[in-house]
Amino acid sequence: MPQKRHTLVFDLDGTLVDSAPDIAAAVNQMLAELGAAPVELSRIKQMIGDGTPKLMERVLAAASLTITVADIMPRFMVFYDRYATRQVTLYPGVAETLRRLKAASCRLGVCTNKPTKATHAVLAAGGIDEVFEAVIGGDALPQRKPQPEPLWATIKQLGGTTETSVMIGDSAVDFACAQAAGIPALILPSGYGMAEVAATPGFTRFADLPDVLRQLDT
C-alpha cells in the first residue's frame, strides 16, 4: 500500500460511477418538455466533466435552443435530482478497492464538478459514501476543475498536503486540475469529456490502483 501518497482525491463521474445514463435521462426529459429532440448518450458523455452550467450550454447548442443557461438551470436541476440515482453503476472493482485503501489508512475524498447534493446522493446509492472523509462538489466554491482550488480544498479537508496527495480521475479536466494544483494524476479514461487523455501506464482497471500508487513512492 502507498506510504507517502496516502491522500487520495477521486473524481466521480466516469471514475467511480458510470453516471452518463442518468444524466442523459435528465437531459432528454428536459428537452422533451421543451419540445426538442433528444441527444444521444454518446454525445452527452462527451459533454460531461466541466460542470452542470457547461453541460447545459452544450446541450442547448446541440438542440439549437436559444434559452439561456441561467433560465434553464432551475428546471434542469429538477430533472437532475429526480434521475441522478436511478441507474447508478459503480465501475468494476471500485467498492472493493476503495475499502482496501481505507483499511490501509489512506484518506479518501471526492472532488467533482457535479453539484454537491447529487454527488452525495450518488455516493450513497452506490454504497460508498462512508469511505469518503471529504466531498467537494462543483457548486461548493466559485471555482471548478480544472482550476486547482476545489482540489486544494479537498486535500485540506483530508488533512493532506500536495506532497501526500494524488488525483485519480478519467479526463483531461482531472489531469489539468492536478497539474495546476501541483500533484500527480492517475488517469483511467472513460470516454467522458470533450478531449482525449492518455491512461496512466499500468492503470487499466480500477483494481490496479493500489499497485499504481505504490509505484509513485519508488
Measure CA 19 to chain center: 9
Residue where the block lists cell 483530508: 158
Report the catalytic residues: 11
**77-106 as b/e, with b when 16 or more CB fall inside 10 Å?**
bebbeebbbebbebbeebbebbeebbeeeb
Residue where the block lists cell 482540489: 151
CA dist., res. 20 & res. 33, Å (int): 20
DSSP 208: G
Give me 126's grid cell: 452506490
What's the length of the chain? 218
- Let me know: does 109 contact 8? Beta carbons within 8 Å: yes
**35-61 as b/e, with b when 16 or more CB fall inside 10 Å?**
ebeebeeeebbbbbbbbbbbbbbbbbe
Q: Is 13 annotated as a binding residue?
A: yes
Q: Is 174 annotated as a binding residue?
A: no
Q: Is 11 annotated as a binding residue?
A: yes
Give me 34's grid cell: 421543451
CA dist., res. 43 & res. 33, Å (int): 20
Residues belonging to the binding site for Mg(2+) are 11, 13, 170
